[in-house]
Structure 1
Amino acid sequence: MQRRTSDRTGPKPLERSCSTIRPSAARRGRARSTVPFAKQQEYTLIVLGASKVGKSALVGQFLWDTFISEYRPTVEEFNWIEYNNDAGDELLLQVIDTGGSHDFLAMRHLYARTGDAFIVVFAANDPDSFEEAKRIVEEIRERNMKRAPILLLGNKSDLYESEGDWPCENVRKFASAQLIPFVPVSAKNGHRVEQVFGELLDQMQGFHPTIMTKRRQSMPSARAYSGIDISEIERIAKKHSKSTCVIS
């Protein structure tokens, strides 16, 4: 997809940033943001879905225009992008790529409450992942009090000639009933990925990425800018690891 360039007086196009993986506790303790919180508007985009549906690959396409072919199970990865415009407004977008394992449902509950926008992903060739996506959408509706926008994505559309060949049934019917948009995409070839991410961000009140330009990338601090407490996520993960430990 080609982007249109603009003259000096027109809006600047959205640029991508690289992502960062949540650092160790020692590194987080040293991390500091030089931008005063009071001068920034902060937004969090959460990417949710079952395991192996291509969440990380979609995030990679959005951030770097690159397809990540190697599968690597994700617990959570925080991607931080700072934007500004000609008027000097500063906005921070946090993109959280979540794990799809049922072992981390407590984390998903936390994300569902706190996100400003959601992308829920399922795989076109996996009906079970669509059922999981339905549960996630319903949970967001129940827990999120912000009326945050939700986008349902059917990834791996490149595996089929048409949507009618998908084994997943009633996808559009479900999306219509939930009053959310549904878009078939392909992380492999990048089909519609940048477009749908941009359209979702445009639905977030006050965030208009088409007229913003990426300024820099920040490292996570002890408390996420979105209001998600990273220490709370660590507590949940630690509790889970203890509860699933088997002594023989």
Structure 2
Amino acid sequence: MEKDKSKALNRSRSTVRARERSAGSVKDDLPYEITIAILGGPQVGKSAIASQFLWEGFVSDYKPTVEEFNWVEFEMTLGGRLMLQIIDSSGSRDFIAMRDLYMRTADAFIIVFSVDDPLSFEEAKSIIQDIKSQRRSKAPIILLANKKDLFDERSDWRVKGIERYAINEGIRLMECTAKRREEVDMAFRELLEELRETRHLQATELKKRRQSMPTTRTRPGELINQDFDKKKHTCAIS
């Protein structure tokens, strides 16, 4: 386990260093780079959300994540390219050093909790507090309530006090089921909109140009209603 954690952390640091060297380099015609980290406790649906956004399919089988890096390159309507890196992090505290690294280096965050698990909401609040305490500058955060399809009414959710917490912390609260692509896409669109305002990103619509493919941990055969070879994905921000 310690060997796996060391390898993963070194890989994370290498990726961050590479991103920092290349970001904003107009001379080399490199894309503008943004990193979004998906954080949360175990089994809240982080990998399912990442897979839905990246490959338009729902991962039905749970497999613990150590670390997954994926990317999407978009063409921007006003010219240029945007390289969006998605970090699907481990929910286990065995990999806390990796999570701390993401908190310091990512450009924006999606913090996920499950509406049927009050402890996952407490973990989400702890993560948000850690992000705010570790960073020198404010970063956009979306607090994403996942698995809403488990209940007919929002009042039936086992997690309470969500709206009040989000208002007090000044962060955006959204809800979804990872089974519905449009709901997952909306969370990413809102986060990109906040990034556009804070990073002066000149784009109104992003058209997917190319992207990483599913790893052996998330094989195409495990994605439900997934057809990433045929679909062209756009992400509009207004």
Q: Which amino acid aligns with 2:143?
A: L
**Equivalent residues in 2 for 1:127-138 (5 A)?**
127-138=118-129
- Between the two proteins, the alignment pairs up a number of residues equal to 190
Percent of aligned pairs with the same residue? 45
Distance 1:85 1:193 in 2: 21
Q: Which runs of 4+ in 1 moved over 3 A?
A: 206-210
Given that 1:85 and 1:211 are in contact with CA atoms closer than 8 Å, whether structure 2 keeps it comes out as yes
From 130, 142, 154, give the equivalent of 1:163. 154
Cα pair distance change 1:100/1:151, threshold 3 Å: same
- Report whether the alignment pairs 1:148 with 2:148: no
Instruction: State how far apart, in whole Å, the 1-side matches of 2:76 and 2:160 are.
Output: 43
Larger Rg: 1
Q: Which has the higher strand share?
A: 2
Determine the C-alpha separation between the residues in 2 that align with 1:61 and 1:81. Answer: 13
SS in 1 for 2:59: coil
Cα root mean square deviation, aligned: 2.5
Aligned counterpart, 1:19? none
Deviation at 1:208, TM superposition (A): 6.0
CA–CA distance in structure 2, aligned partners of residues 140 and 128 of structure 1: 19
Contact kept, 8 Å, 1:198 with 1:210, in 2: the verdict is: no
Residue 89 in structure 1 maps to residue 94 in structure 2: no
> Which of 167, 170, 182 is the matching residue for 1:176?
167
Residue aligning to 1:62: 53
- Matched to 2:207, the amino acid is T
Q: In the alignment, residue 48 of structure 1 is paired with which amino acid? A: L
- Name the CA shift for 1:86/1:209 in 2 (closer, same or farther; >3 Å): closer
User: Given the superposition, is the C-alpha separation of residues 190 and 41 from structure 1 closer, same or farther in structure 2, using an over 3 Å criterion?
Assistant: closer
Q: Deviations along 1:201-245, whole A, 9 cap, x unmatched?
A: 1111234665222222369xxxxxxxxxxxxxxxxxxxxxxxxxx
Give the TM-score normalised by the residue count of structure 2.
Answer: 0.73
Name the CA distance, whole Å, in 1 between partners of 2:98 and 2:174: 26
Change (3 A) 1:180 1:107: same
Q: Distance in 2 between matches of 1:130 and 1:191?
A: 23
Check 1:208–1:78 CA distance in 2 against 1; reply closer, same or farther (3 A cut).
farther
Name the structure with the higher helix share. Answer: 2
Contact 1:202 1:208 survives alignment (8 Å): no
The alpha-carbon distance between structure 1 residues 210 and 56, as it changes in their structure 2 partners (threshold 3 A), is farther
Deviation per residue, 1:105-140 (Å, 9 max, x gap): 111111111111100000010010000000001111
Give the superposition deviation at 1:42. 1.2
Question: 1:185, 1:68 → 2: CA distance?
Answer: 15
2:5 counterpart residue number: none
Aligned counterpart, 2:115: 124
Structure 1: runs of 5 or more not aligned: 1-21, 220-248
- What's 1:242 paired with? none
Mapped partners of 2:62, 2:204: distance in 1: 31
